[in-house]
Structures are given as structure tokens and as C-alpha cells.
A and B are shown apart, each in its own frame.
Chain A
Amino acid sequence: MSNEFDLVIQAGKTERHYWFDIWRYRELFLFLTWKEFLVRYKQAVVGIAWSVLQPVLTMIIMAFIFGRVAQLPSGGIPYSILVFTALLPWQFFANSLTQGSMSLVSNKDMVSKIYFPRIIIPVSNVMVGAVDFLISCVLLALLMLFHHFVPSIRILILPLFVLMAFAITVGTTLFISALNVRYRDFRYIVPFMVQLGLYVSPVAYSIDVIPQKWKLLYSLNPMVGVIDGFRWSVLGGKFELYWQGLLISIVLTIIIFFIALKYFRATERTFADKI
């Protein structure tokens, strides 16, 4: 008798096949990403165009207020490009977190009725943010074309910063979505975090505005390093990178990512009971 069981579930023990399972459910992951993307703009008149309109309008408003009205320094770079470069990682983070942190709760029936690695729900929401991110990348390229702005060779390092943005976003989203299953307070905390985050990140202004003595404290926000890195690699020459800040960001990102993953894995088996 071949009693080689494929799966053994034992109380209190973590499953051995977890990462293999995620691979097995890759199609579901793609389907969920596709669903989230489709659903978002259903029954909206301009539909998918919102993915373009939203960042462009935000950029215009910020460039007008901070560049024209407040006359903040931009180091000779068109203010719209300065803002838009920072908006790329920021909007990716903010949108993914807003959607992703609620994702487990809003897919309550799936979580409580069907098995699949829970991690794919919040991560698929981050993927939707990634699609928006790609659209915004194209917009940035168009914006540069319009201003006859040539990016520097440093742009080759950009993928590293993109990876970092991903790690922070996935980490934070996983952590908060899991917390949200137990503590619904995060429904109110997340919008507040995102709103506040916009002010304490160098999105609408360049990091040079921050006085030197505050910079280190300011860099405790890991998005500071990412945004600064984006600007440094895209805008080129005149832009100085704040190295100490970046280092702090990298360390924090790694810590956040692994703590989040650990917490998610530890709590995910009881999601169905708590949700």
C-alpha cells in the first residue's frame, strides 16, 4: 500500500509546502490581479483613463503650488519632472497600501471558504499598483520628451530602487493587511498614514529643503531613501544623493519586509477564524 500522503496538516506545525504552494497557485494570483484591475474602473465613465489622469492631475497641482506659488528650489530641473519622478514610487506605495491593507477583509468570503496561500491576496493588490506604476513610467517619459530633458546614465541603477520600493510596499501591505484582520482600527489608520506620509516624504519638494541637522531623523521614513534614489538616478547630474539616508532606508526596508513576512505567516492560518 503506497501511503505516501501528499499533505500532512498537523496542529501547531508550519506547512512544509508553503512556497511550493504559492507557485502552484500562481494562476490564481494572476487572475486576482487581473480582477482587481478590471473591477477598479468598472462603471466609471473614463474607465482605465483614471490611471493616467490621477497622477497627472496630482503632478500639476503639486508643481503649481510648490514650484510656482511657494517657489521652492528645484536645482534647475523643471518642477513638474521633479515632482513626477517622486510621485512614481510614492503613488505606487500609497495606492498599493490603501487597497492592499483592506484586501483580506474585503475578500472575507474567499478567505473563510476556500484554501489558497493567503499571501497572494495582498500581493495581487500590490501588483495592481505596479501596473499603475508602469503606466506612470510611460507618462514620465512623455513628460521628459515634452521638456527636452535627457536622463543621465544613472538611470541604469533605477531598477534597484524599484526593487526597494517593492520591498517596502509589499512588506507594509502584508503587515497591515494581516493586522487588519484582527484589528479593524487600521481601516482608519491607513488613510491617515498615507496622508501624513505625503508630507514627511520628499514628494512635493526636494530633500535639499530639509535642514542638514534634521536630515537623519527625516530619513527614518524608508520612503525617503527610495524617493531620493529615484530622483538621483533619473534626474542625473545636478542631483546629490543623501547616502546616509539611503543606507538607513535599506536597512529599515529589509527589517520591515522580514518582520512583515514572519507576522503574516504566523497569523495566516487563523485568518479564517478571526476575519
Chain B
Amino acid sequence: MTTVIKAENLGKKYIIRHKQDPYDKFADVLVKPFKYAGQKLAQPFTKEFVSFISAKEEFWALKDVSFEIKQGDRVGIIGRNGAGKSTLLKLISRITEPTTGKISIKGRVSSLLEVGTGFHPELTGRENIYLNGAILGMSRKEIKRKFDEIVAFAEVDKFLDTPVKRYSSGMYVRLAFAVAAHLEPEILIVDEVLAVGDTAFQKKCLGKMQDVGQEGRTVLFVSHNTDAVKKLCSQGILIVCGEKFFDGDVSKALDLYTEQMYNTMKDKIELSQYGITINGITLNDGKVILPFEPLVINIEIISSRLFENLAFDLTISNDDYNGFIFYTSTILHKNVKVKIKPGKNNFRCVIPKNSLCSDYYFLGFRIAEPVKGILFFEKRFLRFEVANSYYRDTNLQTLPQNGRIYMNHYWEV
């Protein structure tokens, strides 16, 4: 198999400015030499030029990453938010240039870093298909040939001559993805585009992506949806803090990734501006969690101040859905106000009989205050498993395998 992408010691450095205004001001540039001269006059012996413009800090979004991708490989790029996945894709798709290293590419690359890029709201659906196709690298002939297919895929044939600003957001996204899905490059780079539209459409998108993979094209895929990555990819590259952590079999990469997530989330979290430390959240005191059994969520918080009126939210979610499987808040309950006293505080949320089926889930946690708003929010604070080793529910012969929650019910048959 030929190597189609070869990255050697790839690095990308960004300069972060600790300043409100992210743009350079022309005036600063004009004034700089005078300021420098002024400084020299005032302190003729300082050698270093202290930057007047802003405090700068170097940040390596990607550091010393090397890998090879062979033709026809379907590679999932995995990592937490801010790990450097998107930066890597941007380098490969030539949007920005690397600070160090070298990338060699063979074949036409198309990148879908966001569907609908270049869509113009004033233009009609038809016009946008042509424009967007051209932006993504299709020739006019190619677009013409695939036009009907694109329209059928997007299900917008009635609205082809309506400006897309009048489209519903669902239609807009469908059309945008449809154009992108009909690209035929040798190397396809996809970043999180599956998180669009309704579930039915997402399925359709995933199917389309699988087709692309089976046609022997090379696919680089970034997603937080681990199921989608597992379905679509054969190889995984795990990136941690800008460095390549693992490169190889996709399920191994995903296992390492989830393990990491679990480990890092257990750390204490300091909210220094409020004087609060979330010391830890434990489920069932670390013991196994079973379906239909109690689930006790214990929250330990250390505070340096007194808070009279806070609200806690808890959520349960997993990778399959965008929303939450379960949500609760102290606000939902009358007269429940969370008070935090200086020192150690313990809070409990008790679910006497949890309805979760056995699988992995995320616990989310949020602290809010009426005036300051949200003090803390982490959708994936903790990853936990609901085990399926045994069950004690009286009426069930076997545990439900499909579905995520189980509701108390009976059949009349």
C-alpha cells in the first residue's frame, strides 16, 4: 500500500496574547519605535526590549507529531477538546502552515471542517450548491453531474430557488452536508460534521461516510462520538496535549482515550475566583452500580466562603445522544436551596431505584448562582459504568439490552 500522508515532526505554535483585543492595532506599530526610543532614553542600560504591546505567551498546539497514513486507511483522530486534533487537520488541509516539520501528501485532499462553509444566505439553494461545490473543490462539470443526487439527498427539491436564509436550520444543514457528501477526493478530512441535523439524518450521513470509506478512499475523521469513530475507522491516532500518544488499532485507541478521560476527571477542581474546590464526586462510594439498584451521588465541596443560595444540576448522558438521558436540578424542587459553609461540605443526591440499563455513562455537574449565573459546568465530569453482571428485578427474565433507560411498566396481552 502506498503512503498517502506522511507527517514528520509536525509542530504548530501559537502566540497567545493576554489582552482584550485580539487584533493588532496599526497605531501600535506606528508608535512602537518611539516607545522603544523613549524607553532607551529613560533606562539606557536595559538590554532587553520589554514589549509594550502585549504580554505574549507561546503555546504549542501540536508538538513533534509524526505518522504515516496508507491509501484506503480510515483513521480516527481522537482526543479531548483542545488536544490539537483540529489543528492537525488544518495543517493537513493546508489552511494554516506548520511551525516545524513537514507533511507530504499524495492525491487530492478535501476537507470538511464545517459543513456549509461559504454558503451565502442571500443566494438560492441552487446557487449555493454550485458555489459551495466549487469552494470544496469540485469542478462545474462534476457539480452538474451530481446536482440531482445532491438535491435528492438533501430533500430540498421544492425550495431550490428560495434563498437559503429562508430555510429552516434543518434544511440548511441537510443541503450543506449533501454537497459535502458528494465530494470524491482521494483523501477526505472530516471534522465533527456528523453532529448535525436530526437523528435520522445523522444516520444517513454516517451511512454515506461509510460508503466513502468502502470505496477505497482515505478518510481522516475527527469526532467525539466514539461509536461513530468505531464504526467508521480502522485505525486510530490518539492525541494528548498536542502530542501523539497512540497510533494503531482503533478500539485500542478508543479504550486509551476513555481511560484517560476517566482518570483526568477525578482530579480536584478549583474554582479559585469563587473560593470553591470540588473535592470529588463519588457514586455509591465507589462500589458497583447496578440497574434497578440505588444510585447515590455524593458531592464533596470545600469552600472558603459562605454561599446562601446556590443550585446544583446533575445530568446523565452518553455518546449516543446529543441531549441528556437524565437531568435534575435543586431548582426543580421547592424550597431546596444549596448552602455552602466555609470548610468541608457534603451533598447527596439519592436515586432509590435507578433506571439505567447497563452501559457507560457520563455524569455532568453544574453549579449556578442567581446573580453570577453558572459558576461551573462540565457535561462529562465523570464516566461511570452501570454493570450487567447480575440482576435482581423480580419480573424480568433478562436485562434489557436495547435502550438506555428502563421504565416501570406492565404489558396487557
Q: Is the CB of B99 closer than 8 A to any CB of chain A?
A: yes
Q: Which residues of A in the span 1-28 have a Cβ within 8 Å of any Cβ on B?
A: 1-11, 27-28
Inside 8 A of B123's CB, which chain A residues have their CB?
A: 35, 38-39, 42
Q: How far is the CB of A267 from chain B (nearest CB, A)?
A: 11
* B118: contacting residue among A43, A110, A182, CB under 8 A: A110
Contact between chains at A270 and B103 (CB < 8 Å)? no
Question: In whole angstroms, what is the CA distance A3 to B105 when docked?
Answer: 10
Q: Is the CB of A258 closer than 8 A to any CB of chain B?
A: no
Evaluate whether A183 and B25 lie within 8 angstroms (CB atoms) in the complex, with A2-B2, A11-B100 already known: yes
Contact between chains at A273 and B136 (CB < 8 Å)? no
Inside 8 A of A240's CB, which chain B residues have their CB?
A: none
Contact between chains at A39 and B120 (CB < 8 Å)? yes
Question: In whole angstroms, what is the CA distance A5 to B3 when docked?
Answer: 9
Contact between chains at B111 and A114 (CB < 8 Å)? yes
Question: In whole angstroms, what is the CA distance A4 to B113 when docked?
Answer: 27
Inside 8 A of B104's CB, which chain A residues have their CB?
A: 5, 7-9
Inside 8 A of B6's CB, which chain A residues have their CB?
A: 5
* A10: contacting residue among B23, B90, B102, CB under 8 A: B102
Interface string of A172-185 (1 = CB under 8 A from B): 00000001001111
Contact between chains at B105 and A5 (CB < 8 Å)? yes
Q: Is the CB of A192 closer than 8 A to any CB of chain B?
A: no
Q: Is the CB of B106 closer than 8 A to any CB of chain A?
A: yes
Contact between chains at A31 and B130 (CB < 8 Å)? yes
Inside 8 A of A113's CB, which chain B residues have their CB?
A: 95, 111, 113-114, 117
Q: Is the CB of B32 closer than 8 A to any CB of chain A?
A: no
Contact between chains at A273 and B14 (CB < 8 Å)? yes
Q: How far is the CB of A275 from chain B (nearest CB, A)?
A: 9
Q: Is the CB of A199 closer than 8 A to any CB of chain B?
A: no
Q: Is the CB of B280 closer than 8 A to any CB of chain A?
A: no
Q: Which residues of A in the span 103-145 have a Cβ within 8 Å of any Cβ on B?
A: 107, 109-110, 112-116
Q: How far is the CB of A124 from chain B (nearest CB, A)?
A: 11
Evaluate whether A9 and B91 lie within 8 angstroms (CB atoms) in the complex, with A269-B96, A269-B97 already known: yes
Contact between chains at A270 and B26 (CB < 8 Å)? no
Contact between chains at A114 and B103 (CB < 8 Å)? no
Interface string of B1-26 (1 = CB under 8 A from A): 01100100001001000000001111
Q: Which of B14, B95, B137 gathers most chain A CB within 10 Å?
A: B95
Inside 8 A of A35's CB, which chain B residues have their CB?
A: 120, 123, 127, 131
Query: Whose C-beta in chain B lies nearest to the C-beta of A179?
Result: B26
25 contacts between A and B (CB under 8 A): A3-B3, A3-B106, A5-B104, A5-B105, A5-B106, A8-B104, A10-B102, A10-B103, A11-B102, A28-B134, A35-B123, A42-B123, A42-B163, A110-B117, A112-B95, A113-B113, A114-B93, A114-B113, A182-B24, A183-B25, A183-B26, A185-B25, A272-B90, A272-B96, A273-B14
Besides A1-B2, A3-B3, 13 new A-B residue pairs in contact (Cβ under 8 A), listed by A number: A1-B3, A5-B6, A7-B104, A10-B102, A11-B11, A27-B140, A32-B131, A35-B127, A39-B122, A109-B114, A114-B113, A115-B93, A269-B96
